[in-house]
Amino acid sequence: MAATMGGAAREFADLAKNLREVGEEGMRRELFRAVDEAANPLAAAIGNVPHLRDYMPDRYADALARDLRISTRKTTGGADPGVTILVRAPTAGGSGRKVRQRNAGLIRHPLFGDRGRWFTQTAGMRPGFADDPVERAAPEVRDKILEAVHRITEQATGRG
């Protein structure tokens, strides 16, 4: 049985909520671990230096790869439950690398270091460094999360 993304997200959220309500924190942690494990290959693919070099200049890809932090956010309440892949690139200076701009295929930087003159570079850039692997992996990640949801549901109801 294939579930839609919306249906899969609702199943995940309902199970997490129900496990919390009945005090099954161990099973809830197991569910969240399964979500992280399902998303780990995706995180590795996004941050892979050769992958990044397909989307941006090599020197910038190397620098971005060092700063990338990829994690999952699990939302079990509200109108839009589900799992979100967070791609951030904090830097020592505090402002971080602008992941949305890089994903859009843009780099904004000062002209030869002159902070009074900024320009947007598209040469050598290709949009989608984060979106493309997410789109390719989404069905498999969703299926793995649904497998975990069904397995833990069976355990919780004594059918597994």
- pTM higher than the cut 0.85: no
Using alpha carbons, select from 159, 151, 138 the residue that is nearest to residue 11: 151
Query: Using one digit for the tens of pLDDT, what is the confidence trace for 69-117?
Result: 999 899 888 888 888 899 999 987 777 899 999 999 999 888 888 989 9
- pLDDT surpasses 80 at 4: no
DSSP classification of residue 126 = -
Exposure class string for 37-72: b at 16+ Cβ within 10 A, else e? ebbeebbebbbeeebbbebbeeebbebbbeebebeb
Number of H helices, E strands in the chain: 6, 4
Q: Residue 95: helix, strand or coil by DSSP? A: coil
SS3 117: strand
Going by their DSSP bridges, the two strands 82-88 and 107-111 should be labelled as: unpaired
With CA atoms as reference, report the closest residue to 13 among 30, 1, 31, 26: 31
Domains of the chain by residue range: 5-157
How many Cβ atoms are within 10 Å of 142's Cβ, its own excluded?
A: 21
Q: Which residue has the higher pLDDT, 4 or 133?
A: 133
Helices 25-47 & 5-21 angle (0-180, nearest 10): 140
Reported as a single tens digit per residue, the pLDDT across 30-62 is: 999 999 999 999 999 999 999 999 999 999 999
